[in-house]
Amino acid sequence: MSASFATPDRANVQGLILRGYTHPFSCHLLFSFSTGAKSADTKSFFNDLYPKVQNSLDWGTNKPVSMLNIGLTFNGLSLLNIVAQNDLINFPASYRQGPWSGGSQASLADVFDPDSTPSGWWNGNGDAVNASLHCVIHAYALTNNDLTTLVNFITTSATKNGLKEILPLAPTNSGGRLYQSIVYNDQNKIHFGYTDGISEPSLSIPGTAGLPTAEDYSNFLIGYANSSISEPGPFDTSTSGVFAKDGCYNAFRIIYQDVYNFNNFIKDQAKKFADTLSYLGLSEPELEEWFAAKLCGRWRNGSPLMLNPLKPGNDVTPGTGEGFGYTELSDPTLPNADIPSGARCPFSAHTRVANPRNQALDSSEGSNGPPRILRRGMPYGPTFEGTTRDDVDRGLIGLFLCGNLSGQFEKIYGWMNYNNFSDPPVYGIKHPPQDALLGNRKAVLSPNFPGLTLDFTIPLEGNSSVPSITVTLPSLLKTRGTAYCLLPGMASIAKMAGRS
Ligand code: HEM
């Protein structure tokens, strides 16, 4: 059987998928359809919300003041009785079984760390919430007042219709809800001080010449021909395929960031290696920045290490420009084009692991290039100030979008926990350690990652007597919760709302 590639109807795709919103205020609300909820109740809830659901059509200059998007967990989807019970099996195992399942944990590795383990997620209510979380509503607004109005509207409808709100954080933190924060007084910053919102993986699929490339959605939208990537596949004409069409999965992951540990780590390394690195001619604060850049692959102002090996540059250019790639620069006129790439950007720097772009991969990884995901994250919790540890909750509200949770999101997570994807003949290494920012450090206990080391090697240029330095990666993150949601197409949301 064959079918031709069709360009998706943007009106049927939830807006969050095809565009990164820049609304500065958002709240991510979790609900359970509570036992005994009648389908009329959930229909009434989704019907109330329907007029506010944002699609992917261009809004031109009329930026919505407030809007929302809707995600369903598999348990939520099953309760809606829209997809026939016999067809539910057509959804992929990762989505059906949830991110706490053995299959997903083989890459996510939260189970190995008592501070991240799924039973402790959602403010300690992991097992109960993992089983009873049915939908996540992502609410966005231009002002705080507009957000408050929208959140009140959503929660009033939820209460009226018998849905139970799940509060994922401790009550001391914004009443337990996941509100976006602006940190370091800068909408583009995230905790640890890095700049976000610069680059996204390209949407085109390698090796599919002749297909639309600018908007080749197959990695991200479900139900298109020529794509065995997204699941259910394009030839599923049953109620599962129909419901999932134009949908996308969202790996919704809440990650606590230990800014105190991060700050101390870069300070300690700057002191410890001051003599070895004195030939760089950097002051101690500049050396701290140098270490922060080596962990991430970008300077904290966003400029790529590949073009600026010594100090942050001004070339914070969005997109997939040459400076965001990882092979030797083909243009010999670019600064430092002759420096081996590992010496500019370590192989295990976060952006390099999460999207190795043009770096050669181990042949066991196939020939399709690195998997890609779309990121729609934002920080929660206040900026860390001072030098004393506080017990305030802060971190990342991560929305990682893809058409195939195991082949994209979990594949990348596996690499972040265990960097075994580089091509050894080219890079001379097979098992370097973990992603220097991400990576569950307790994954060393996992039988899936034999020989995992927390040594992070930073190759040095211009120092023939010391070719590299090695630091031990610190523990910087804890997983506070994860849900796998389907962001259904608008036609399916209309069905959920009883409108069709
Ligand atoms: C608290 C946790 C995290 C921090 C602090 C962090 C930090 C960053 C930063 C600073 C960037 C560069 C921003 C930009 O280019 O706009 C970035 C890019 C990226 N991150 Fe993360 N990240 C985190 C979690 C994750 C997770 C969980 C994943 C995936 C599973 C991920 C995947 C990516 C990808 C794919 C990119 C784009 C890289 C590129 O295209 O060059 N990140 N991250």
In tens, the pLDDT along 313-363 reads 886 655 444 456 776 655 556 555 555 677 888 889 999 999 888 777 887
Using CA positions, which residue lies closest to atom 9 of ligand 1? 196
Report yes or no on 283 lying in a domain. yes
List the structure tokens of 221: 């939208």
More confident residue, 1 or 457: 457
Report yes or no on 492 lying in a domain. yes
Q: What is the pLDDT of residue 6?
A: 65
Q: What is the pLDDT of residue 369?
A: 78
Q: What is the pLDDT of residue 306?
A: 84
Report yes or no on 417 lying in a domain. no
* 66 has a pLDDT exceeding 70: yes
Q: What is the pLDDT of residue 365?
A: 81
Q: What is the pLDDT of residue 347?
A: 87
- Asked if residue 273 and residue 125 are part of one domain, the reply reads no
The pTM (predicted TM-score) of the whole model is 0.94
- Asked if residue 268 and residue 247 are part of one domain, the reply reads no
Report yes or no on 227 lying in a domain. yes
Q: 402, 393 in Cβ contact below 8 A? A: no
More confident residue, 3 or 327: 327
- Asked if residue 448 and residue 491 are part of one domain, the reply reads no
Give the number of the atom of ligand 1 that is nearest the alpha carbon of residue 191: 5
Residue 312 CA to residue 303 CA, distance in Å, equals 6
- The CB density around residue 296, as the number of other CB atoms within 10 Å, is 24
pLDDT digits (tens, 9 = 90+) for 373-424: 999 999 999 999 999 999 899 999 999 999 999 999 999 999 999 988 876 5
More confident residue, 215 or 430: 430
Q: 327, 339 in Cβ contact below 8 A? A: no
Report yes or no on 391 lying in a domain. no
Which are the contacts of 115, defined by CB distance < 8 A and separation ≥ 6? 478
Longest dimension (CA), the chain: 73
Using CA positions, which residue lies closest to atom 1 of ligand 1? 396
User: Which stretch, 279-283, 329-333, 445-449, has highest mean pLDDT?
Assistant: 279-283
Q: What is the pLDDT of residue 486?
A: 98
- Asked if residue 305 and residue 199 are part of one domain, the reply reads no
More confident residue, 340 or 104: 104
* 40 has a pLDDT exceeding 80: yes
* 492 has a pLDDT exceeding 80: yes
More confident residue, 205 or 298: 298
Q: 494, 21 in Cβ contact below 8 A? A: no
Instruction: Please choose, from the candidates 476, 453, 420, the residue with its C-alpha nearest in 3D space to the C-alpha of residue 291.
Output: 476
Mean pLDDT value across residues 277-300: 96
C-alpha dihedral over 138, 141, 144, 146, to 10 degrees?
-110
- Tell me how far the alpha carbon of residue 219 is from its chain's centroid: 15
Q: What is the pLDDT of residue 18?
A: 85
Report yes or no on 395 lying in a domain. no
Report yes or no on 416 lying in a domain. no
What's the domain count of the chain?
A: 2
Tell me, in angstroms, the distance from the centre of ligand 1 to residue 353's CA: 9
- Asked if residue 168 and residue 311 are part of one domain, the reply reads no
- Asked if residue 430 and residue 488 are part of one domain, the reply reads no
- Asked if residue 235 and residue 114 are part of one domain, the reply reads yes
The whole domain housing 303 covers: 258-371+426-477
Residues near ligand 1 with C-beta < 6 Å?
A: 190, 192, 194, 196-199, 201, 253, 255, 257, 296, 298, 324, 350-351, 354-355, 373, 375, 396, 398, 400, 409, 412-413, 437-438, 477
Tell me, in angstroms, the distance from the centre of ligand 1 to residue 3's CA: 35
- Asked if residue 302 and residue 165 are part of one domain, the reply reads no
Q: Which residue of 317, 438, 479, 484 sits with most ligand 1 atoms within 8 Å of its CB, as the best mutation to test the pocket?
A: 438
SS3 track for 283-338: CHHHHHHHHHHHHHCECCCCCECCCCCCCCCCCCCCCCCHHHCCCCCCCCCCCCCC
* 73 has a pLDDT exceeding 50: yes
Residue 118 CA to residue 102 CA, distance in Å, equals 11
Percent residues over pLDDT 90 in the chain: 65
Residue 73 CA to residue 300 CA, distance in Å, equals 35
